[in-house]
Amino acid sequence: MTGIICGTGSYAPSYVMDNNEIATMVETSDEWIRERTGVVTRHIIKDETTVSMACEAATRALADGDVDARELDLIIVSTISSNIILPCTACEVQKELDAEHATCFDMSAACSGFVLAYNTALAYLSGGIYKTALIIGSESLSNLTNWKDRGTCILFGDGAGAAVMRAGEGKTYFPVTCSDGMKGNALTCQSRHTLADTRHMADPEYSIQMDGQAVFKFAVKKVPEAIDETLKKNGVKKEEITWYILHQANSRIVEAVAKRLGEPLEKFPMNLQEYGNTSSASIAILLDEMKRDGRLSGGQKVVIAGFGAGLTWGASIIEWR
């Protein structure tokens, strides 16, 4: 018994902010951002919230998989940027979908979140505990961004992606996942709920802060290692992998990972040009795009790999049906 993705969906806010607009807020340029990150535009919430985007992506994934919300046993939402703390975002999705039988909880693992949500659902489904699961990555990083810090505000965007999984016959591939809390200082964001008043809302300390070069070095070393280890653990050869779907942080990170793995860049699809870094939503949005445009098809083996704050990282193999 294993877990099989049978439907995907995504949602991106309609407001699109391009690099030129960012250049009106901080000293930067379209050329610099494109060259150093690959990002050209990002979608930014106006009326949407993390909850509303999660609900929309989930509705689309259920429709795509032809799954009734009442069949869901489990809903996991990965997010670090929800508009609500209580109830959890997953319970809000349950309410919106009327998924009355689902057990719901959120997961906070930043840019590794979707991979960890997938692994968690996979464990429940392959273990026979649940039959149908919905996993969602939804982020409004614009709410956590310091729009005066050119080292970070150029990178992030908002959006949500979802996948529906069913238990079914097949091989379960074992993931490789790692965390290193000792290096957590490279990428931080203090909780806005640690102070009793609201003066801190404009304080950069309560926005994302990042040592960009440290994160870059960590990602290009640890992600290929985790992918190699995952392939080895499951007896899968690189030639068998059709796609490596990496967290969409930066095109230079994706290129460096491809080079270290000795695999052609064509096997590493990217959509960060349009979305920027949407943290735990990025892999799910890309999976949905690739399913809809036909790049994903039955029989393919796909690696998904996440990395980010924590530090956390990991890779899993999905056999597409």
List the catalytic residues: 111, 247, 277
Single residue of 82, 250, 312, 316 touching ligand ACO by CB under 6 A? 250
Question: Please, which residue, 11 or 307, has the CB nearer to ligand ACO?
Answer: 307
Q: Annotate each residue in 193-232 with x if it binds ligand ACO (CB under 6 A) or - if it does not, as one string.
A: -----------------x-xx-xx----------------
**Size of interface with ligand ACO, in residues (CB under 6 A):** 23
Q: Annotate each residue in 52-81 with x if it binds ligand ACO (CB under 6 A) or - if it does not, as one string.
A: ------------------------------
Query: What b/e string do you get for 42-67 counting C-beta neighbours within 10 Å, with b at 16 or more?
Result: bbbbeebbbbbbbbbbbbbbbebbeb
Single residue of 131, 151, 242, 255 touching ligand ACO by CB under 6 A? 151
**Rounded Cα distance, 25 and 208, in Å:** 17
Question: Please, which residue, 154 or 261, has the CB nearer to ligand ACO?
Answer: 154
Task: Check residue 20 for interaction with ligand ACO (CB under 6 A).
Answer: no
Shortest Cβ contact with ligand ACO: which residue? 212
* Residue range at the interface with ligand ACO (CB under 6 A); choices 99-107, 113-121, 150-158, 160-168: 150-158
**Rounded Cα distance, 161 and 286, in Å:** 8
- Beta partners for residue 163, in sequence order: 8, 135
- Beta partners for residue 156, in sequence order: 277
**Rounded Cα distance, 113 and 314, in Å:** 10
Single residue of 95, 131, 150, 221 touching ligand ACO by CB under 6 A? 150
Strand order in the sheet with 241-246: 176-179, 312-319, 301-308, 241-246
Question: Please, which residue, 36 or 192, has the CB nearer to ligand ACO?
Answer: 36
- Asked whether 167 and 131 are in contact (CB, 8 A), the reply is yes
Single residue of 2, 30, 36, 221 touching ligand ACO by CB under 6 A? 36
Token pair, residue 32, equals 């610099």
- Asked whether 84 and 28 are in contact (CB, 8 A), the reply is no
- Beta partners for residue 138, in sequence order: 160
Contact positions vs ligand ACO (CB under 6 A): 28, 32, 36-37, 110-111, 150-151, 154-155, 187, 210, 212-213, 215-216, 249-250, 253, 277, 279, 308-309
